[in-house]
A and B are shown apart, each in its own frame.
Chain A
């Protein structure tokens, strides 16, 4: 292999055997027409990230309001009972399906084709259709709630619209997942076997697959609920039963799937921060795969089998899921020990996210142990809160790691340290509040907005959760502020490789040109192709 001593983006080794890049088609139109008609994965990804961050900030805000209502357990202070339950379901749907999932998919649509050395994403027009479908579906969902829809809404047309719009959102995100998974599975460059694929791309293959499996079952639930709503509650009961049939997706183990991409982001950010080649790469890939497989939760529907949380499978799954996460965390700790650590924002924030995810998994294991009597208490909500906070951290880490690559201008790195502190404190409080209340035996809120009985420290726990949720909302706002100048193309232009990265996305300019890479890509021979080139160049000099 012929190499030259130069910056990675200028290194085009092994020209002789490399396949010729296809001729670039003419420039697409600019402006609104260009955005509406785009098939560029980077534009679609940017749109996903931008809108999902706005939704995430808004719905973490509403979630804060909902949490605040439990601080005084005696009665509702600001919201009336209908609004309370409507906001509760809307904020849960909003945070996950309008915030977390699309933000990860947006990052993946931007970064995954670059990481695997592909000039585009698989099914680029489907990716664009998925974004517009998701955006329109989200708009319809919010409009339906505003028009007194939602699971317990009073306007029957709007109730139906809310279910159909939710289904549209899920289908759109499923389509985007298919595009990302197919890109990782089929569009890799020469020599990049799946054993050499970057960890974020691998985590998106795993997460996308698990999202598709879980949300397929959720769509079936939605269909049942819709039929019940439109045809006189023939299957599983009246309005009160609609929402609980859908809540398994926000409970363990399924809720852990939404934080899976964090594992890949942590892996990639660690390689950059420690400046060494990742050791035992296969173990990392296996751990992410195992963690993904152990978060399949579509069977765990307590609405149909309330005794499920005492079943052997649920208990076993809840306990075992901790192991791959510990293995991965051990690998990260080993890299930190061996490397020369450089605390980038992405690394710090993703470590915070990993700690929160480990906390969620451990808390989930405790939830499943029958002697502890945590079942059906708000401890379960604490597990979900920790997983949500971990996913928020994952998005923040991803934005700080690849933001400059995505937008072509530097993302405000100093804000990352603030985000690290806020996400760690916010996530810990958001989860701890519910865990404390659950440990004291606090049950969830009743149908009339009050509690059956108020356990000791429950109100204190609710206060902690409220503060934690507010901090996570602040994290999202900080993230928007960090990204905004880059998104508006203000501030200094970003370098092609600001971190000394090891994977292919750092071998092209920021933002990447059309077709992503200006020349042919050398055959990949390890999970760290740019490190190979740098080390090869160093050897030649010696």
Chain B
């Protein structure tokens, strides 16, 4: 028996196939003068469309191809509808060996990976139009989102108990997520803070480093010493810290690094020694002798 859904998709497929033949034939131009006396010749004109271009030509290839593609797609879906009996309850239950087919299950977890996946696609879209770096960043994010999404999809249906499902997921993913997340946070902090240190003068950077370290130390002691800290306060503190680090990073990147040339020149001219005087800004590191030779050579040139 052909089911209702299959009737629609087979009907659509048949309609598009007939349309393809009609369009392939008529869009090439029809000599209606052959009607009715020379039907054989008229049929010969149709042969290209009837044989899908195998014996003879069709008119507009694009339209013909699109109609055939539509016919193939809808016929394929129609075949699935027949095979699965329109996914009606009774045949499904029979196949599953159950009295009735079970309804769809609600997903048991709330997670943002579908949203992050969509955001990753948006980043890729921006990258395709502007810079390859965005494409790479978006693709990495999309890969992570896909993995997480797949794990949630599996865990949501692992057992009938949502708590067990969550525990199963965490057992598998936490060993990957925690170090990865830690590395990302460390990289984020290092990158942002380093922008600040590269921007401010050298001496200030030293004091700033000490100041930040002290602040973190004192805050940690205060948190540890407090008898009870509300979760919301800790979260709020972390969010403020993350925003501050991000702001510092952005501000540092916008301001750009300080001028290193003067520092190095000063260091070398004064000859305070140490390994740093081996470095001449803008050149590959070399030996002290080579630097001296280079400097002597230029003096000679100057003479």
In the complex, are the beta carbons of B100 and A17 less than 8 A apart?
yes
List, in ascending order, chain A residues with CB within 8 A of B23's CB: 299, 311-313
In the complex, are the beta carbons of B73 and A305 less than 8 A apart?
no
In the complex, are the beta carbons of B66 and A25 less than 8 A apart?
no
In the complex, are the beta carbons of A185 and B102 less than 8 A apart?
no
Q: Is B262 an interface residue (CB 8 A)?
A: no
- A172-B118, A296-B16, A299-B23 given; A213·B128 CB < 8 A: no
In the complex, are the beta carbons of B63 and A190 less than 8 A apart?
no
The minimal Cβ–Cβ distance linking A533 to chain B, given in whole angstroms, is 19
In the complex, are the beta carbons of A311 and B106 less than 8 A apart?
no
In the complex, are the beta carbons of B107 and A39 less than 8 A apart?
yes
Q: Which residue of A lies closest to B13 (CB)?
A: A293
The stretch of B36-44, B86-94, B170-178 in contact with A is: B86-94
The minimal Cβ–Cβ distance linking B11 to chain A, given in whole angstroms, is 7
Other than the given A289-B12, A296-B67, 17 more pairs (CB < 8 A) read: A25-B107, A25-B162, A29-B110, A37-B110, A119-B104, A119-B105, A129-B117, A130-B118, A133-B121, A137-B122, A167-B125, A172-B118, A190-B100, A301-B63, A304-B62, A305-B62, A308-B27
- A125-B114, A136-B122, A301-B62 given; A296·B102 CB < 8 A: no
Q: Which residue of B lies closest to A289 (CB)?
A: B8
Q: Is A272 an interface residue (CB 8 A)?
A: no
The stretch of A74-82, A191-199, A423-431 in contact with B is: A191-199
B95-117 with Cβ < 8 A to chain A:
99-115, 117
Q: Is A161 an interface residue (CB 8 A)?
A: yes
- A124-B107, A194-B3, A194-B86 given; A213·B74 CB < 8 A: yes
In the complex, are the beta carbons of A118 and B128 less than 8 A apart?
no
Residue among A29, A289, A300 with the highest chain B CB neighbour number at 10 A: A289
Convert A285-329 into 0s and 1s, putting 1 for each residue whose CB lies closer than 8 angstroms to a CB of B.
100011011101011110011011001110011000000000000
- Taken together as a complex, chains A and B put the C-alpha atoms of A29 and B109 apart, in Å, by 10
Q: Give which listed residue, A131, A136, A144, A158, contacts B119 with CB less than 8 A.
A: A136
A1-58 with Cβ < 8 A to chain B:
17-19, 21-26, 28-29, 33-34, 36-39
List, in ascending order, chain A residues with CB within 8 A of B130's CB: 157, 161
List, in ascending order, chain B residues with CB within 8 A of A36's CB: 112, 115
Convert B1-12 into 0s and 1s, putting 1 for each residue whose CB lies closer than 8 angstroms to a CB of A.
001110011011
The minimal Cβ–Cβ distance linking B50 to chain A, given in whole angstroms, is 15
Our count of residue pairs bridging A and B at CB distance below 8 angstroms stands at 204
Convert B77-92 into 0s and 1s, putting 1 for each residue whose CB lies closer than 8 angstroms to a CB of A.
1000100101111000
In the complex, are the beta carbons of B114 and A128 less than 8 A apart?
yes
Q: Is A421 an interface residue (CB 8 A)?
A: no
Q: Which residue of B lies closest to A124 (CB)?
A: B107
- Taken together as a complex, chains A and B put the C-alpha atoms of A157 and B130 apart, in Å, by 6
Convert A411-435 into 0s and 1s, putting 1 for each residue whose CB lies closer than 8 angstroms to a CB of B.
0000000000000000000000000
Q: Give which listed residue, B60, B66, B115, B125, contacts A161 with CB less than 8 A.
A: B125
- Taken together as a complex, chains A and B put the C-alpha atoms of A34 and B149 apart, in Å, by 16
In the complex, are the beta carbons of B87 and A160 less than 8 A apart?
no
- Taken together as a complex, chains A and B put the C-alpha atoms of A108 and B110 apart, in Å, by 22
Q: Is A399 an interface residue (CB 8 A)?
A: no
- A165-B125, A190-B100, A194-B4 given; A311·B86 CB < 8 A: no
In the complex, are the beta carbons of B104 and A137 less than 8 A apart?
no
- A25-B162, A206-B8, A298-B70 given; A185·B81 CB < 8 A: yes
